[in-house]
Amino acid sequence: MTMHRCKDLIRIRVPGGQLHRALLPGSLVVGLLVGLPGCIQHPGRTIGTVEIEVVPGETASGYLSSGQGLCATAFVEAGHVYHVSAGVSAATAGSTGPDEIVGVVSGDPLTEPVEFSVSSSWGGGSQGSQPPVMFVAYGDGEVVIEFAYASTDTADSTGSVLESIRDLVRGPMRATYELLITDLGFDDNGTSPDDAVTLPIGMDGERTGTITPADEADFFLLQVQADTTYQLNLESTDIVNVILGSEDRFGQVNFGVPTAGGLVIDVSSSAGSPDTGEFTAEATEEVLLRLTASGSGSSNVTIQYAISVVEVVPDGE
């Protein structure tokens, strides 16, 4: 397995106005006597990069020094859906972290890099947990997961020489990290009318999947019975739309037009706003549903969805 090298430390915000100090060899006495002369001011340390390999389903953990980055590689399989979650924690009192830590997942199995937020806690405080990011691997291969840790010791905010000495003796601030990549399994919903999967009637037939706005569509087959009323239920983490299609006399499948029995279905949902659509079949026929995503962000944002169709029982029966 080939290890990809990390790039320069990725986007990470270090609070402005905080200057860490280091003393040049031989300048300690000068620094003690006159303060600033002999001191080098710099916006932080770059101590190198920790490179590890992670296995999906196994939590990786360790330590990062202030200014140090993590570069993790993981092997992923084509068509599988993955979660990535990470956290950084510094327990030392007086240690604060950046406003946010942003991680990046990249590599050949992805169409474009995917950013995620790293949860963090500093000196007993916390910025709260961050939801995991989800992505779909479009091929077998390695992905690279990167983020970096930076701290500002609040005790050094005065910029005193004594605190600079203390910093040299104590060494750089350290934090623990945890990283977990989880394989959610193969997303096998049909990606063309020819390989559409059957959507059984009833809640037991609910199907879940993932899709990105860059994908063309997921397709489902639904068998309806004449004079029967159904309800289509759709729930998703971002904007998705389901419409019904039918085959014309030339064998072409057209979407958004009535089927042979006159059915027209158009249901949309978004994060926190599930949707339903009720319809009555006038003929016994097999119909094709097409699910597409527009999303509200990147074209590579991975959207989770759940779709089901249930029979509506008239009142009194």
What pLDDT does residue 199 have?
93
Q: What would the pLDDT profile of 249-306 be if each residue is shown by its tens digit?
A: 676 777 877 777 778 888 999 988 999 999 998 889 888 899 998 877 666 677 889 8
Q: What would the pLDDT profile of 203-214 be if each residue is shown by its tens digit?
A: 888 988 888 887
DSSP-derived letter for residue 118 is P
What pLDDT does residue 21 have?
30
What pLDDT does residue 278 have?
92
What pLDDT does residue 34 have?
35
What pLDDT does residue 171 have?
60
What pLDDT does residue 129 have?
56
Between the alpha carbon of residue 313 and those of residues 21, 211, 228, 231, 262, the distances in Å are: 74, 32, 9, 10, 21
- Phi and psi dihedrals of 170, rounded to 5? -75, -30
What pLDDT does residue 47 have?
55
Q: Is 204 helix (H, G, I), strand (E, B) or coil?
A: helix
What pLDDT does residue 46 have?
42
CATH 3.30.70.141 fits 20-185, yes or no: no
Could you read off the pLDDT tens digit of each residue along the chain, which spans 317 residues?
333 445 543 333 333 323 233 333 433 333 333 333 332 233 333 458 899 999 999 999 999 888 889 999 999 998 787 889 999 887 654 455 555 788 999 999 887 788 888 888 876 555 555 667 777 787 899 999 999 887 655 444 444 555 455 556 656 678 899 999 988 777 778 888 888 899 999 988 898 888 888 777 899 999 999 999 999 999 998 899 999 887 766 767 778 777 777 788 889 999 889 999 999 988 898 888 999 988 776 666 778 898 999 999 876 65
Between the alpha carbon of residue 196 and those of residues 99, 106, 287, the distances in Å are: 46, 30, 11
- What is the value of pTM for the model shown? 0.54
What pLDDT does residue 75 have?
96
CATH 2.60.120.380 domain position(s) in the chain: 20-185, 187-311
What pLDDT does residue 93 have?
47
DSSP-derived letter for residue 195 is G
Yes or no: say if 150 and 66 are a contact pair by the CB < 8 Å rule. yes
| Start-to-end Cα distance in the chain | 62
Please, is 277 exposed, middle or buried when counting C-beta atoms within 10 Å of its C-beta (0-12, 13-18, 19+)? middle
Minimal CA–CA distance to 102: which of 141, 80, 126, 70? 70
What pLDDT does residue 99 have?
59
Q: What is the CATH number of domain 187-311?
A: 2.60.120.380
